Amino acid sequence: MDGVVQLQRQLLDYTALLFQEGFLNDQFTQLQQLQDETNPDFVVEVVSLFFEDSERLLNELANTLDQQSIDFRKVDSHVHQLKGSSSSIGAQRVQNVCIAFRNFCDAQNTEGCLKCLQQVKNEYSLVKNKLETLFKLEQQILAAGGSIPM
Amino acid sequence: MGMAGESQFHVLAVDDSIIDRKWIEKLLKTSSFQVTVVDSVSKALEFLGLQEAEQRNHHQETKVNLIITDYSMPGMTGYDLLKKIKGSTSLKGIPVVIMSSENIPSRINRCLEEGAEDFFLKPVQLSDVKRLRPHLLGWRTLVEI
């Protein structure tokens, strides 16, 4: 079916672009490689956990940085968690901002932290959007009777 | 009574991150291990305590052959768990592997000196998990730092 082949090419091109632009790294490929018939929704499940967890952490970060007297250890702890989870799914750009963010925490630099919070929110939003698009493409392929190309 | 076969090895994984728990569980199951995953050291000790009790009653179903734990956790850390295991007459024979997202040589050395079998940098890979079998069979492998 031509439709399926086109969709599959679209998916491969889109995925390649995400890697090129640094949104995803090899760890995401590792996730995809472990998905199989016994657990066909594995990647979506892990990424969904990442979305939920990140949103929780971003809220906590906003609250912690909104205090009169900022507890930088608490900020650092949240950023450490976000860095870990983004690294575990291959969300490279989010991970990179977290690294810079932790440096500002160490320096107890409020302005730096607030800037990083904005940046990490942006990067999270972008990668969320991109992954949702990717999953939609996969769904379209499956609905059209095709299989996900690797 | 020991393991029925290679594929019956039971690994207890400890990590406070829900994403990392899902990932390590998948890696271990893909490698044909029986897996129990908990989110804290206290839950791990609880589970191991139950295991001890069952062993006394000669029920070996929950026998744990290896523990893999995250280093940085709120409350008791993976290092605390390692010390508890190695300090326990009944549990000290269980190999313990530490995982960490931070590559800190002094941390790695401290864990190995305390008796950890191996140290994996996160995100843990399938190739790391495949390295577990020799530890389970009682062979000490050289770890290059």
Distance of CA A61 to the CA centre of its chain: 17
Number of residues that make up chain B: 145
What is the 8-class DSSP label of residue B124?
P
* DSSP characters over B113-142: HTT-SEEEESSP-HHHHHTHHHHHTTPPPP
Within 8 A of A45 by CB-CB distance, chain B residues are 22
How many Å apart are CA A57 and CA A79, to the nearest integer? 8
How many Å apart are CA B22 and CA A132, to the nearest integer? 20
Q: Does B22 sit within 8 Å of A49, measured CB to CB?
A: yes
A25-39 pLDDT per residue, tens:
999 999 999 999 889
Low-confidence winner among A14-23, A120-129, B7-16, B65-74 (lowest mean pLDDT): B7-16
How confident is the prediction for chain B on average, in pLDDT? Answer: 87
pTM of this prediction exceeds 0.80: yes
| Comparison of pLDDT for A108 and B55, the residue scoring more | A108
Which pLDDT does position B6 carry in this prediction? 46
B113-129 pLDDT per residue, tens:
999 999 999 999 999 99
The percent of residues above 90 in pLDDT, for chain B, comes to: 72
How many Å apart are CA B10 and CA B66, to the nearest integer? 7
Q: Check if B59 contacts A (Cβ < 8 Å).
A: no
How many Å apart are CA A62 and CA A95, to the nearest integer? 18
Nearest to A88 among B23, B30, B72 (CB): B23
Identify the residue whose tokens are 């050291």.
B41
Within 8 A of A88 by CB-CB distance, chain B residues are 17, 19-20, 23, 122-123
Scanning A21-148, the segments in alpha helix (DSSP H) are 26-34, 42-65, 72-89, 92-106, 110-143
CA distance A3 to chain B (A): 33
Within 8 A of B30 by CB-CB distance, chain A residues are 34
pLDDT for residue B48 is more than 60: yes
B80-117 pLDDT per residue, tens:
999 999 999 989 999 999 999 999 999 999 999 999 99
How much is the ipTM here?
Answer: 0.93
Q: Does B123 sit within 8 Å of A88, measured CB to CB?
A: yes
